[in-house]
Amino acid sequence: MNREEVIRRLNEVFRDVFGDDSISVSEETTSADIEDWDSIEHINLIGSVESEFGMKFKMREVSGMKNVGEMIRIICERGC
């Protein structure tokens, strides 16, 4: 799967999880850019991304991701 496809599907997950159809994520998007992206929603986001792509983040990754770009990199690395 190419990066564009990953971003497109990731964007769908973000829109569902935060209930906001105007969200458009980029590699630079961080939790500061989305109002409801707190530590609790982060858990739900991670779970939803994992189930969307059929993969699992490692513990260090969950707490260490700085922005959406890193999330995409990890997803692509897992060969999804």
CB 13 within 8 A of CB 49: yes
Rule CB under 8 A: choose which of 11, 30, 48, 67 binds other proteins.
48
Per-residue mark of binding to other proteins, 49-68 (x: CB under 8 A): --x-------x--xx-----
Question: Do 75 and 53 contact (CB within 8 A), yes or no?
Answer: yes
Q: Is 1 in the site for other proteins (CB under 8 A)?
A: no
Determine if 18 is a binding residue for other proteins (CB under 8 A): yes
Chain length of the chain: 80
Q: What gap in Å lies between CA 56 and CA 73, rounded to an integer?
A: 13
Residues contributing to the site for other proteins (CB under 8 A) = 13, 16-19, 40, 43-44, 47-48, 51, 59, 62-63
